[in-house]
Structure 1
């Protein structure tokens, strides 16, 4: 009996230490700031889904995901409308800020438009002010629109502004998730027809929110939102961020 206790004691101690470590982890918030492709949606928009909506499901109970993304916003309007101000005010050491803009920044005909220099300056502002609070900013390139040429090759629609995000991340030594490139790769793999499943494509009469149907190559279905969230989560693991240790991998279907 005593021999058995001596053999099992180290194992018991190990499990106790692991349990203690998990229990002692500081709770953190992960703030999502961005546009409609990330944002929470009202019931009237269903099945349109921002990728930030399923994102919270993949973390343990030490993580709170606070999705502040808003439809139609750019870095300029997110700042000017004082949507960034309460995020920056409430940031605590160890929190994360996931930043994904570009869709509305890059369109000159929109009031949300900001030129390349302004876009870069605003990204640096998010990084600097997050770091001032000892939070961790993570830059994300704008997620791809579904656009194929006549030969079935995916076309980039954010090339200039995605390049700015990459440049800022490199210059500021900030973690980068290249969601534009990776989502394009996914769309190419699926092809022009199957990739419609990822977006808000509906036939007339299929959904009461869109009685006339819908063909939307920008906003996601529930499936598409989950796929984009999974790309972001996989990159968080590849970047070896401390946040990765709080992902519940069984929810991802991976080990």
Structure 2
């Protein structure tokens, strides 16, 4: 036998019967998906792999892709179920759609809040958008339900939207302000977990601002124009 010193790996890991080596990197100052896409292009052009070698991108990126795939199914299903509940509540497709209009109102504020704060669309931010769905729909239900009550009393269209918006101003503001004030501490969070807390709080607070303002201003206008419960709307 012959013994000699050679250079080689200290430890050999295997996965699926093949040797495996892990390269770790922490992403800061940019979004993870954009970083991985740029890294993939650079590796493909400057690091051709020999035959028998393969490269897999995992870690937090893999978890993010898996969560995004699940959200792409969960969110449409949730919106569909909300629409069915609204239709059974109001008995009119138009009014159910009017309440769902609040969802884009909330999304506008969430997107602008991410841009202004420099945050990226991550899984926590996506969860924040989902949380906005419930709050935005709740405010719409409060307004449209009261509009229908005033309509049942025989008020004119103008008085319905004006008095309804004025009398439901306080409940809508209370719903939005309590949620926003509860999330303010998360905006200034630091340390472990802040990368999850801050994007969620930014999205929810920004979405609440736009949703509340647009709900109180645009929703009464849309109800006056399209909120009638005629036979053709049922």
* Common topology (TM > 0.5): no
Larger C-alpha radius of gyration, 1 or 2? 2
TM-score w.r.t. structure 2 length? 0.27
Structure with the bigger percentage of helix: 2
Between the two structures, name the one with larger relative contact order (CA 8 Å, sep ≥ 6).
Answer: 2
What's the TM-score once normalised by structure 1's chain length?
A: 0.26
